[in-house]
Amino acid sequence: MSKLIQDTLERLSTSHDNARIWDDSQGRWFTHNELLVRTGQLATWLGKEHVQKGERVLVAGSNTFAFVTAYLGVILSGRVAVPVHADATQHEWSRLMEQSEAKAAVVTVDTENGDALCREASMHHLPYIRVGADGVLLGCPLMATSKNSGFAYEIDDEAAAVMLFTSGTTGRPKGVTLSHRIMRANADNVIRSHALTDADTAYCFLPLFHINAQVVVLWSTLLSGGQLILQRKFSARRFWSTIAANQITWVSAVPAIITILLQTSGPVSTTTLRFVRSASAPLPANTLRQFEQRFGIPVIESYGMTEAASQICVNPLPPQPRKAGSVGLPYGVELKVVNDQFETLPPNETGEIALRGQSVISEYAGGAGADSFVDGWFLTGDIGYRDNDGYVYLVARKKELINRAGEKVSPREIEEVLLTHANVKQAAVIGVPDAVLGERIVAYVTVHQAMLVSDMRESLNKICLELLSKFKRPSEICIVEQLPTGATGKIQRLRLRQEILKQQDTEKNVHTISST
């Protein structure tokens, strides 16, 4: 049995009668025993539907006990979970079915487009099941009450546990398959670096379809035996009261949330909060200092990515030195900074960050992106440097992904959606600096024929609403006369971004229309 499965089942079994997971949408606690029974029932259903071990299963839902049940039920039964955003559109869902070659789908009742997603699964001849708010399978009798029914005992550590997709800037997104070994290794890194124990209570509002919440919060809490507070979405109004009411000891957040919290009045009394962890995007050093000075709570900046099952670097906990503006020290991985010839650079010289270790993939699914792997090292595409003490600083991204509040968004995906409009001739999407989100999404299009701005607004908004999740929709769509291209006619996004940022007056020949 894989160590991930073995240790998870052992931990759940030894604390099964304790209230360990709070589902804010249900307003109640769930025990590990309830989790064991529900996951066992899902595992049994997968077997009855002839979904084999190692095959992929789409799991759609938000931060609820139902999603945790579905996600764990797939993995502990030896299948491969493919987490999907709770508000995924049919277009996105269908694409993921094809890309992942899924053999079944599990959709929680809180999923925004759940009925439509189930219909789409049926059209693709995929077996599917709905999971109720309490984790009970809907529409079928309980097939098992034994907590271990359907769980996998002969799954190797190298077997796949989770499959996620990068937001590729060109071509199809690359599949990232994370093995049981990789998931367990990174969860262990998080537990040790954050000194987590069964006395800790974690607050999870970052989306569980994302690797950060899965490993940094869910797996680390399950395996360390702590309590977990689940909330569907971040709420600035309720943040501090939730911390106090549940005696939360640590939080995983993103810079946009830390910025928003600076606008709140803060805790009314001494809090149990040991630290706030920041990841998924660079945190301005001034924001970190303001937060710590105002609230007296340490901010632990870190760095991670899907290809390393989340955490790569993290600043030490107090009283060890933390450096504002740095993502900290490598933890559980080897890291070096290299030039274009893959030569290791000395401290304070900028280059591309390369990784290797037990929590880092050695290839993409299907052999894609082979040029990202050199002599056992993974080239991240992130540009940075290490100081004389070994602390890592990120300065840029070699790739063109847009980082909106920690969500990595593919320009190409949005461009392809905009190009479905009959009057759109060209489309280029870039990220521009935003004080709260880090980057906001702005689209630039050229058109075949002149149209009223109001007509274009209605048409483009309709397309974006139908085909893109909310976090992928442009905040602005600008109609321009031309877009910068290279010798082969390919649109140059980086050049466009540079030109836009240099412009003092972007309104000269541009009509801007807001996208809601």
DSSP 3-state assignment of 427?
strand
Q: What pLDDT score was predicted for residue 400?
A: 78
Encoding tokens for residue 132? 């109720």
The answer to whether 87 and 470 are in contact (CB under 8 A) is yes
Q: Which residues of the chain have pLDDT under 50?
A: 144, 146, 169-171, 504-511, 513-516
Q: What pLDDT score was predicted for residue 516?
A: 41
Tell me the sheet residues that pair with 430.
442
Give the list of residues 6+ apart from residue 124 with CB closer than 8 angstroms, or none.
94, 97
Residues 281 and 125: their CA atoms lie apart, in Å, by 39
Give the list of residues 6+ apart from residue 10 with CB closer than 8 angstroms, or none.
none
For 156-196, the pLDDT digits (tens) are 999 999 999 986 544 467 899 999 999 999 999 999 999 99
Q: What φ, ψ does residue 448 adopt, rounded to 5°?
A: -75, -45
> If you classify domain 1-179 with CATH, what class do you get?
alpha beta
Pairing type for strands 250-253 and 227-230 reads unpaired
Q: What pLDDT score was predicted for residue 172?
A: 63
Residues 138 and 161: their CA atoms lie apart, in Å, by 25
Encoding tokens for residue 374? 């050199």
Q: What pLDDT score was predicted for residue 515?
A: 44
The answer to whether 255 and 325 are in contact (CB under 8 A) is no
Q: What pLDDT score was predicted for residue 464?
A: 94
Q: What pLDDT score was predicted for residue 425?
A: 86
DSSP 461-482: HHHHHHHS-GGGS-SEEEE-S-
Q: What pLDDT score was predicted for residue 167?
A: 62
Tell me the sheet residues that pair with 428.
444
In the chain, where does the domain assigned CATH 3.40.50.980 lie? Answer: 1-179
The answer to whether 141 and 133 are in contact (CB under 8 A) is no
Of the candidates 474, 498, 496, the one whose C-alpha atom is nearest the C-alpha of residue 483 is 496
Q: What φ, ψ does residue 240 adopt, rounded to 5°?
A: -70, -35
In the chain, where does the domain assigned CATH 3.30.300.30 lie? Answer: 402-514
DSSP 3-state assignment of 118?
helix
Amino acid at the residue 467: L
Of the candidates 176, 190, 180, 210, the one whose C-alpha atom is nearest the C-alpha of residue 53 is 180
Encoding tokens for residue 164? 């996620």
Q: What pLDDT score was predicted for residue 295?
A: 95
Residues 315 and 300: their CA atoms lie apart, in Å, by 6
Q: What pLDDT score was predicted for residue 383?
A: 87
Pairing type for strands 438-447 and 19-23 reads unpaired
* CATH superfamily of domain region 402-514: ANL, C-terminal domain (3.30.300.30)
Q: What pLDDT score was predicted for residue 488?
A: 55
Q: What pLDDT score was predicted for residue 10?
A: 93
pTM for this structure?
Answer: 0.85
Kindly list the distances between the CA atom of residue 227 and the CA atoms of 218, 220, 254, in Å, as whole numbers in the listed order: 10, 10, 21
